[in-house]
Amino acid sequence: MLDIHRLREDPQGIEQQLRTREPAIDLGEIVKLDKRRLELIREVEALKAERNEGSQMVGQYKKEGKDTSQLLSSLAAVSARIDSLDDELRETAARIDRLLVVLPNLPHHSVPVGVKEEKVILRTAGERPNPDFTVKHHLEVGEEKGILDFRRAAMIAGTRFPMYVGLGARLEMALIQFMFFHHAANGYTPVFPPFLANAESFYVSSQLPKFADDLYLIEKDNLYLNPTAESLLANLHRGEILNAEDLPKDYVAYTPCFRREAGTYGEEERGLIRVHQFNKVEMFKFAAADTSYEELDRLIADAEGVLQVLGIHYRVALLPTEDLAQQAAKTVDIEVYLPGQGRYYEVSSCSNCEDFQARRGKIRYRPGPGEKPLHVHTLNGSGLATTRLMAAILENNQTADGRVQIPQVLQEMVGAEFL
């Protein structure tokens, strides 16, 4: 959530920045309501001072034996006015919050202004594969080898739910374990969180209220299925004041993820590209405000490290303003190339949300002894999601004789060198 004090100081500048993300944003109503709220606060404070002074006079009148009826009547009117203004103040504050909560974060100054197609490619790693044979789509490979079974998955759950079988299931589990322990070895504290969370948790992470339609809700229990472990990890220190010397706090978690992914799907998104359920290893950081962008660089490097060990070509892209998630101030995507489709797909988004989530979750740190607490900066990054990573392995590691080589680091866990 945006800082109302910052908005109050420069409403036009803030509005201009936000319009690079959503051109229709208009802060006029918030500014008007905030002005009224300040007026109400001043009036209530003045009336309370008047009431306190009057109460003291009542005591003095009684000591002097004077009639207090007129004074008491006047104080009753003041109290009634205070109650009325307090009600208006609460409603005004609530209306401001309802408007603030759907606004996106302010983009960092390094984020290019533009639409989704205008992302900036920062670098590539390795040579893009160019085999001298026709590379098959990962879905075709998976079905031929009996390691992917979307037909039976659809019978069990519906469309867009994957099912891994045999060596496919072993490879999926190997990917999860490799990435989870890889990040743990790099200093991230392992977390195995609940896969369900309450509405407050999703409010803090910023999925609610704006993106409620994208979530799976278990209405009987009023709990939501996890769309990404970011939603859970963002709440680990909710309501706490951390010590500066304990920052950054780095966590890694594995969770299955569930997303409605409403809308239509093109031919290029069949198979494992866009599904309702997938597995993901997630990295999350709580950092001091003055070092959070250094931590973002480390987060990106840690995500890249997984692909480097797996030996998969990738590129790194800086997202433009209109492609940022609501909570993100800056996002860098890591994309793998799928030769079976001749295009790149994102396997990791690494974001600095600055204090956007921390304000919602009241997560702060004390820079030094006796100093005023500041909101932490939160950062998240996929480390990585397995579905598109599985697709990348199945398409990039094909051989001319129709086999798929398993990355060396996974071979022992899978129990095979080739699929």
Active site residues: 259, 274, 346, 349, 388
Cβ atoms of residues 381 and 282 within 8 Å: yes
CA distance 12 to 108: 17
Question: Quick one: tokens of 101?
Answer: 């909560």
CA distance 417 to 403: 10
Longest dimension (CA), the chain: 109
Which residues are within 8 A (CB) of 164 and not within 5 positions of it... i.e. 6 or more apart?
147, 148, 149, 171, 172
Q: Beta strand 241-243 with 364-366: parallel, antiparallel or unpaired?
A: parallel
Cβ atoms of residues 336 and 209 within 8 Å: no
Helical (H) or strand (E) element with 336: strand 330-338
CA distance 210 to 159: 25
CA distance 104 to 301: 26
Question: Quick one: tokens of 331?
Answer: 């996002």
Q: What 8-state DSSP symbol labels residue 106?
A: P
Q: Beta strand 330-338 with 343-352: parallel, antiparallel or unpaired?
A: antiparallel
Which residues are within 8 A (CB) of 324 and not within 5 positions of it... i.e. 6 or more apart?
21, 104, 105, 107, 111, 330, 331, 351
